[in-house]
Amino acid sequence: RDSSQHSLFWWALKVVCGTLLIASLFLMTLYNVSGLIEFPQLLAQALVVSGGAMTLWHYRILKRHSERNLQEPNKLIESQGFFRWLRHPMYAGEFLTYTGLVLLAANEFAIGVLFNSYLALIKQARAEDQFLANRFGNSYARWKDRTGLLLPRF
């Protein structure tokens, strides 16, 4: 497969995983089923909300700087929002959101889906790294040296 098909596969998998996590939470709530562990709901909800906000905020940053569309960036965003420390803050936000959803509905199915969503997010981020490296060359290499994939590099 070429890199765009590879990237599309991981993007689709992470979307399916997110949908399954929401469905799992919905069904557990609908049928009043308890999770495997009791986790403070407020903290889990905070992860969902903060992860969603982080994803949307960085989407807006990218959209604001995109002349055509996000699939063909003409500028490498390195200094706004969490792009200062992370190459993929939108995926880091999804990581937080998915984790929060599982903590709200901790069951065997959701935990299995969570690990698949983590894999998909990491693979998608790496596929996009390759695209950005090809598109922006040395500027990307310098940015990569000082930032982390999904977690800040200290």
The secondary structure of 27-79 as a DSSP string is HHHHTT---SS---HHHHHHHHHHHHHHHHHHHHHHHHT-SS-TTS-SS---S
Query: Hey, what's the torsion of the CAs at 54, 102, 111, 149, to 10 degrees?
Result: 10
Residue 76 has pLDDT above 50, yes or no: yes
How far from the centroid of its chain's Cα atoms is residue 39's Cα? 22
**Once rounded to an integer, what is the mean pLDDT over residues 123-144?**
94
DSSP track, 111-128: HHHHHHHHHHHHHHHHHH
Binned at pLDDT 50, 70 and 90, residue 2 comes out as: low
Instruction: Calculate the average pLDDT of the chain.
Output: 91
Give the model's pLDDT for residue 1: 47
d(CA 92, CA 98): 10
The torsion region of residue 77 among left (phi > 0), alpha (psi -120 to 50) and beta comes to beta
pTM: 0.89
pLDDT per position as a tens digit, 12-67 = 999 999 999 999 999 998 998 888 888 899 999 999 999 999 999 999 999 888 76
Q: Please indicate whether residue 3 or residue 7 has the higher confidence score (pLDDT).
A: 7
